[in-house]
Structure 1
Amino acid sequence: MSQTNLTQAFAARYSDVPVSCADGAALVQSMAARGSCRAFEDRAIPDDVLDTLCAIAMASPTKSDLQQRDIVMLKSSDQRQQLAALVAGQAWVSDAPMLLVFCGNNRRQRLLHDWHRVPFANDHLDALINATADAAIALGAFVTAAEALGLGCCPISAVRNDAEAVSNLLGLPDHVFPFAGLALGYPAAPPTISKRLPLRVTCHVDRYEEEGLRAAVEAYDTDRAAAQPYSKQRFVDRFGHTEPYGWSDDKVRQYSAPERAEFGAFIRKRGFYLD
């Protein structure tokens, strides 16, 4: 891939386009130009491709070599349909040729302590965070590798909307929890490059900085509304119809209603302490 292609991908995503030094790096270019895929060809993914992607995901960094993540591949169409039903409101999920669920797993570590008869001395919030981070890192590695092989992906955070039902469907024991699903398949069309906040807002030097943040977000709202207008507005009955309707409008409306308020209770029920 050429330097021009990488620069074009950056220009499509950022208002403050960085100077690229990765000339010729095909993987870097594909990462810069990636987008979520929600329309797939009716084409199965070979088992050896899935196995390779799982192996790459598990080769990714892990906190203290604890390896606190698992992947559940739903190869059964019945299992996929049941999972799709649990993430209601996202009809495209049921059309994905493959669904996977990435899980945080603090159970194996606790079993090691049982087997070695050594007390587990870290039964607090950090145990959950470590397992969550491990699952997130594996998910990112899987997505990068899959897209490099020509597959399309879209993470599904809605597996946490009814985490207990998803856990029961997958047979997850205590101290193992669903972090995110992933729809996977061969794309029916090239994905859209979603605009991101300017890099000056999200990437800092030496210290965190918020100078000019509001103006930058307002400019981003304008740019994104022009390039990627939302097909519908959230909660029009509460907020009315707004024009222009930008990214910040959408995110404020989204989080004006409770989401996954029961997830903390679910995590505690699964044996985690959050103190």
Structure 2
Amino acid sequence: MNTMIELIQSHRSIRKFTNEKVSNEQINMIVEAGRWAPSSHHVQAYSIVVINEKEKKRNLASLAGNQSYVESCPVFFVICADFYRLHEVSTLLNKPFEVGEIEQVLVGAVDAALVAQNMLLAARANGMGGVMIGGIRNEPEKVANLLNLPKYTFPVMGLCIGYPDQDPAQKPRLPLKAVVHDEQYNTVQLNQVLREYDDVMSDYYRKRTKGKRIETWTSQMANHFTTPKRPQVGEFLKNQGFLKKE
């Protein structure tokens, strides 16, 4: 199998790191890989904030839901959707600037996600590991203030990077039959496929926790969606110039 395919298919989230430092050269290599990600209409609506300061990582760990690995990782990145420089371009050329629709939120979020994935793959290709941090959106206004983010930007995700100090088992993914459809969306087999996946996931958790946790994927997801998630993000986006206020 092609080594890149092997790398992609061997993904695991790494949350524990050795004390080995990530050099400035390695950081530049990771960022450069992110810079070459695809971008909608070539707008390149992203920015990367590199965090090395221990105190700042500690603050971000707290804001991201007390995720200790944000503080303990050698380097932490915050990948943002960024239309600020596009606003400056429009102002410079005396053109209207329209980013109030949800389409631009999607464009910025997708651009940032593609950049983050490139960065993680580059780090892993060089012996490192990492984990994406969605919790960076828990307190978006505080994160924005801490990082001095201007209007028309918003944090999409964090990324911990370092040398792995753990070797976790791979978490099974949904079967192909649940996520791949030929020609049109097919719902016929879904219930059966999900039951089969529940067996796989409960076995995974049983082995991972030595019998302390036996949980199905369907019960986990059903519980997850019983409450709204990060409702504060919408208001923050409006304050940042997105999602036009009524």
Calculate the TM-score normalised by the size of structure 2.
0.93
Distance 1:161 1:168, change over 3 A: same
Q: Percent identity?
A: 25
Structure 1: stretches of 5+ with no match in the other structure: 1-22, 232-242
- 2:4 maps to 27
CA distance in 1, matches of 2:96, 2:186: 42
CA distance in 2, matches of 1:82, 1:102: 17
Secondary structure at the aligned position of 2:187 is classed as coil
Secondary structure at the aligned position of 1:228 is classed as helix
Residue 98 of structure 2 corresponds to residue 128 of structure 1 = no
Matches within 5 A, 1:105-120: 105-120=82-97
1:223-263: CA deviations, max 9, x gaps? 111023475xxxxxxxxxxx952111112212223320111
CA distance in 2, matches of 1:45, 1:122: 36
Structure 2: stretches of 5+ with no match in the other structure: none
Residue 130 of structure 2 corresponds to residue 153 of structure 1 = yes
CA distance in 1, matches of 2:42, 2:201: 40
By how many angstroms is 1:141 displaced?
0.9
2:223 to 253, 258, 266: 253
By how many angstroms is 1:91 displaced?
2.5
1:36–1:192: 8 Å Cα contact kept in structure 2?
no
The count of corresponding residues between Structure 1 and Structure 2 is 242
1:72–1:102: 8 Å Cα contact kept in structure 2?
yes
1:223 to 192, 200, 213: 200
CA distance in 1, matches of 2:106, 2:231: 18
CA distance in 1, matches of 2:158, 2:129: 14
- 2:59 maps to 82
Residue 164 of structure 2 corresponds to residue 194 of structure 1 = no
Residue 166 of structure 2 corresponds to residue 213 of structure 1 = no
**1:265 partner amino acid:** E
Residue 40 of structure 2 corresponds to residue 63 of structure 1 = yes
2:181 to 175, 190, 204: 204
1:136-170: CA deviations, max 9, x gaps? 11011111111111111100000101111111111
- 1:240 maps to none
By how many angstroms is 1:182 displaced?
0.7
CA distance in 2, matches of 1:121, 1:68: 14
Structure 1 residue runs of 4+, over 4 Å off? none
